[in-house]
Amino acid sequence: MEIALIELGMIIGITVLISALMMFLKQPFIIGYIITGILVNYFSLIKSTESFAIFGQVGVVFLLFMVGLGLNPRIVSQTGKAALVTGIGQIIFTSVIGFLISMALGYSVVASLFISIALTFSSTIIIMKLLSDKGEIESLYARISIGFLIVQDLVAMFILMGVSSFSSGQDLKSILFTTLLVGIGLVTLFLFFGKYILPKVMGLVAKSQELLLLFSLGWCLALASLFYYLNFSIEIGALLAGITLAMSPFRYEISSKTKNIRDFFIVLFFIWLGSQMVISDVVRYLPAILIFSFFVLIGNPLIVMILMGMMGYTKRTGFLAGLTVAQISEFSLIIIALGVNLGYLGAGVLSIMTMVGIITIAGSSYFIIYSEKIFQAISKYLNVFERKAKKVDEYRYHDPDGNYQVLLFGYNRIGLRIVEAFRKLKMKFMVIDYNPDTVLEMAKKGIHCRYGDADDYELLDELKFPKIKLLVSTIPDMEVNALLIHKMRKANKNAIVLTVAHQIEDAVKLYNIGATYVIMPHFLGGDYTAALIENYGTDLDKFIKEKVGHLAHLKQRQEMHHTHPHIEKN
């Protein structure tokens, strides 16, 4: 036991160093965990292999529990047809093409099936983190992406059921019966329980934060054990436990409470996964690794772009959504590891897919981070993926030939009051926002608006900047605001340009490149509070009157589903 603890401490120390390197390279930490495992195996740093394997198995359980917590089925309904068609279509095309590639490379039918399935699924966790970091989680392409990624995960859940059924030695007919009837029956039962019964139980449990934590962990392990007892895998039980809790109003508290525990075991799982790789296998199977990686990095996005183009989306929406499937997921690696454990696959396949995971996760991360620059570079070659007719994602309510005096980028929060000011001054204005729901809501109110991102060069080229007298951006992104200032100053040097910044350094830079005034919400909040104190002093009645007006304004924002942004510290 002492040796296992010493080895664990040494491994965590190596992981810290590798993870720091990943942070510097702007890569997901999951890559660092796998690389740590590869180094641990290469230098034979683990002697207590059984203990480490147990940690890895527990890591799988908590990983899928975490995935389940993020899989609220209601999200799919928000993107409807686009999520279902793209999700199911991409699964079919990727799995078929992946199977043919595997067979062409000389793999058996069974191995090709496992490989094709592994190539199909993309990582919901990684994509949501990258989209959140970019501040684009509410954009149309992000919503569609999350929608079809959830569809993928739900399909993966049933595939896990089918794969685990093979371990019981049943024939294909029995497996289909078990998976389709018993499996679907169990899933339906627990989803019903999660929607109608569990929330009431959680309401009682949540009165104590410690009890909420214990109940969540107990629920996860109980369902994992139940599914194992019913000859399914513990992984599917853990996933379903997370999904049922995801429908609870306490999902965020549960996620916060269990985060540190599950993250620790998840780290150990990916380290264990990396430790199963054999360096000689990587060299031996390098052609297969490169072919599969190329297919995932290029082929998967092309499939999504084709499907979204057929549904009438613009090439930009299809391209950005396509980049989110340019990697394999944790499901892929778990399915391959399960195939190895059941004896259907050799360790070489696990080495291949783990390496494909490293390459595609790293590559897709850079794709998403620099998606706009990549799109601008190849935009003219993507017209083939776009229908010539009206695009379904070009939400607009404005006069295309209108001579607008004012442009406002971003309606939520700050923009709401700014629009009120425009109306009082009777200025002809148009609002541009990247949230489709916001655009439709503005259209209902008769506000001239259109859907779009402020850093979309093609959109900016359509706008008549020379005629604009005032440009306001409520987007707190330094690069986006710099682009808007550049476009405005190039077209009209006398226009007023107002932008937002949260950091003093950014505000100074924006002033230096041509901003007329930079709004700093945190400082303005302090200034406004000081002004209230100076004007009202200790007059309680005046503060009560201010409170009543503020409450009415806050209720208006609640009705519009506005939330206060979470600003990360640098």
pLDDT confidence of residue 326: 94
Tokens 């899989």 belong to 71
CA angle in degrees (0–180, nearest 5) for 455-485-315: 15
Residue among 317, 374, 8 nearest 142 (CA):
317
**Which of 142-146, 396-400, 509-513, 563-567 is predicted most confidently?**
509-513
pLDDT confidence of residue 119: 94
List, in sequence order, every beta strand (DSSP E) within 410-522.
429-433, 449-451, 470-473, 496-500, 517-519
CA–CA distance, 276 with 52 (Å, rounded to integer): 12
pLDDT confidence of residue 566: 44
User: Would the pLDDT of 287 be above 60?
Assistant: yes
pLDDT digit string, tens, across residues 78-112: 666 788 889 899 999 999 999 999 999 999 998 99
CA–CA distance, 247 with 13 (Å, rounded to integer): 37
Burial per residue of 425-450, b for 16 or more beta-carbon CB atoms within 10 angstroms, e otherwise: eeeebbbbbbbbebbebbbeeebbbb
Give the DSSP letter string of 421-450.
HHHHTT--EEEEES-HHHHHHHHHTT--EE
**Which of 15-19, 172-176, 396-400 is predicted most confidently?**
15-19
What is the pLDDT averaged over residues 363-375? Answer: 88
pLDDT above 90 coverage of the chain, percent:
21
CA–CA distance, 99 with 92 (Å, rounded to integer): 11
pLDDT digit string, tens, across residues 464-483: 888 899 999 998 889 899 99
Under the banding of pLDDT at 50, 70 and 90, the label for residue 522 is confident
pLDDT confidence of residue 530: 82
What is the pLDDT averaged over residues 192-212? Answer: 83
**Which of 66-70, 95-99, 248-252 is predicted most confidently?**
95-99
Residue 208 tokens, joined: 């104590």
Residue partners of 427: CB distance under 8 A and separation at least 6: 405, 406, 470
pLDDT digit string, tens, across residues 389-433: 667 777 777 776 667 889 999 887 677 788 888 888 888 899 999
CA distances from 150 to 88, 98, 146 (A): 11, 21, 6
Under the banding of pLDDT at 50, 70 and 90, the label for residue 165 is low
Domains of the chain are 56-385 (1.20.1530.20), 396-559 (3.40.50.720)
CA 275 to chain centre: 27
**Averaged confidence pLDDT in the chain:** 82
- Of the listed ranges 44-53, 97-106, 499-508, the one predicted with least confidence: 44-53
Q: Hey, what's the torsion of the CAs at 204, 209, 214, 215, to 10 degrees?
A: 30
